[in-house]
Structures are given as structure tokens and as C-alpha cells.
Amino acid sequence: MPTSAAVPLRPGAAVGRVRTLRSQFTFVIFLLAFLPNIILTLMARPDVPPLPLLAWMAVVGALSAAMGYLLSGTLLRPVSRLQAQVEHGDFQAAQRDDPAEVRSLRAAFTGLLSRLGTEQARRNAFIATLVHDLKTPLIATGHLTKILTTLPLPDHERRLMGEQIQAETGRLLALVQQMADAHRFEQEDVQVQPARTDLRALLDDVAQRVAPQAQERDLTVRVEGHGHAQADRAVLERAVMNLTVNALRYATHEVTLSVSGEGLHVTDDGPGLAAPLSELAQPFNVQPTTIAGQQYTAGTAGLGLFIARRIAEAHGGELRYTRHSPPSSASGHPPPEAPAGAPLSPPAQTRFTLLLPEVSP
């Protein structure tokens, strides 16, 4: 009958089982109690015979070991209690006899649990976003494709359906790109390669790219100001594009892109933010958001703002939001260019500012 081979232990396995914190405390206390007793005994009675000396050393060693074991248990009682509470998932309430180190450890555990809960909630929001925002255009595209492939349609209707499929596909790609960028910008720093950039030319390019979208909503896009700055043009243009697309979504009459000594501004006459910028400019928000009466699912409302904020920070600046009323004329009448029947007080304006460290003329 074959014998089973012995399984060799790893070098650190046995040591890991023996070298507990209590065993180390016990050993230290044992040495502190045992060695002085033996030294004092040898100094006071150097002529003690070996046999009584060994017996005395055994008694002192046993008492020292017992004292070390008891004292180490007393010292480590708060740690043992915290371990039991962590295992049961209830460790937030501090005990009166907890030392400062255990209180700090308890606070660290509580903070870690809170962060893990937040990350889990954001992960759930991300999954909910994928299910909701990706499913709807995919279903629409599937229906349109089925109609195109199964029903006889005139050429102009087929062309219209093809354009609708392209529009739905574009929305899908834009959402996927935003979610990928937000995830990447959340996990790592935004990499920029600054160079002297003509900010006015950058805004002109953005205005030209969004012109078809502005025409669909009968909006005017104006560009004002001049300036240069050290910036990564491609990355900075993405931030301005995100802010401009948001402005076009909510504006009622016009959107203004401008350059000043502070940086770049995107101004519109829409309703403004429904919550503070610090809450909205976060990736994969847990709570849904309502803006201008439109409900946005958890995880999507702040993606563009978050990307713009991270890009501004990568350039040494920040993203700022203001809501103000434009100055009216001193006479109280509408300005000359205002159409007949326009309100006496212009509507409040929403402005996002990408602050840049140095802007030169």
C-alpha cells in the first residue's frame, strides 16, 4: 500500500501562525520580567548551586510568562474587540476604553467602508446607465433596420430611415465615448502637451462644428474675444465642445463662446443647473437629475461636466459656474436690437468658465 508523501510546509507558514501580536507582546513582557530577576539573583547570590538556580529560573520564567500572557491580553483587548466587531460588520461606535490608535483604526475602517459603499453605488449607477441609455437607441435602431429589410418602401422613406439610424448610432457612439473618457479621467491623470494655442481659433472651430445642431434648434452661436494660452488644443477643445453641446441642449435663443483674461467662457440663456456644480460634475452620479424638466438617469447627467473639469484641472485651472442677469439699459426699455414684444428684463444667463493660468492677447 503506497504511503502518502509528506507535504512540505512553506518557510513562512509556521512562522505566520506563531508570530501573533499577542505572542510578541508576551515574549517582550517575559524578557522584561525574567532577565532582571535572574541578573539580580546572580549579583546578590553568586554562590548559589546550579540545581537551586535552575529551579529558581524555572519558577521565575513560568511566572514571567504567565504575567506576559495576561498583560498582553489586557493590552490587546481593544484590538480583539475591534476584530470581533469588524467580523460582524458593526464597528462604528467607539468604546470608552479604546486607546487613540484603536480609535484611529476604527475611523479608518469606517471611512473605508463609506468609500466602498459609494463606489458600489456608483458602479450600480454605471450599470443602470448602460442598460437604460444604450438599450433605447439600440431598440429603435433594430426596429428601423427591420422595417428597411422587410417592407417595400419608397426611396425617400428609406433615406429618412437611414438618416434616423445614423443619428441613433451617433448618439450611441457619443455616449459610449463620454463614458469611456469619464472612466479613464477618473482612474488616471489627464495627459496634456501644452503649446501656444490660439483660443479664438479654437472657439471658431467649435462653433463651426456645432452649427448644424444650432440650426436644428434655431439657435445663434456667437464667438467673441481673442487670446492665446499654453494649452493642449485637442484636449481643451474637447472640454469646450462638451460645454457647448450642453449649452445648445438647454439654450432658448443663443449661445456665446468667448475669450477673456480668465480663460474660455460658454454662456447660454437656458435654465441653469439644478444642483451645485460640485455635485453634478461627478462621473456616474448615483441620483438621477432633472434639468429643464427633463429627467436624466443616474450616471449620465454629469459626464460632460466632469470631463471638462478634469481637463481644466490638467491645465492648472478649474471649471467655474455662474448664474447672472445681463445688464439692462438705463432707460428700462429693451435694447434697440430686441424684437418687438421682448421682455424688459433680459433672461438670466448661465456661464461656464474654463479658467486657465495665463491668457495673453
| pLDDT, tens digit (0-9, with 9 covering 90-100), for 64-103 | 888 888 888 887 788 877 777 777 777 666 677 777 777 7
Amino acid at 198: D
pTM for the full predicted model: 0.56
Cβ-based neighbours of 274, under 8 Å, separated by 6 or more? 280, 289, 290, 291
Alpha-carbon torsion 214, 217, 220, 223, what sign? negative
What is the per-residue pLDDT for 292? Answer: 43
pLDDT of residue 179: 72
Beta carbons of 359 and 196 less than 8 angstroms apart: no
Give the Cα separation of 347 and 343 in Å (integer). Answer: 8
- pLDDT tens-digit map of 308-324: 988 999 999 999 999 88
pLDDT band at 132 (very low <50, low <70, confident <90, very high): low
> The C-alpha cell of 246 is what?
450642453
Q: How much is the average pLDDT of 260-264? A: 94
State pLDDT tens for residues 134-181: 777 788 888 888 888 888 888 888 888 888 888 888 778 877 777 777
Q: Could you tell me which of 171, 181, 124, 118 has the C-alpha nearest to residue 298?
A: 124
Which residue carries 459609494 as its cell?
118
Over residues 203-250, the pLDDT tens digits come to: 999 999 999 889 989 999 999 999 999 999 999 999 999 899 889 988
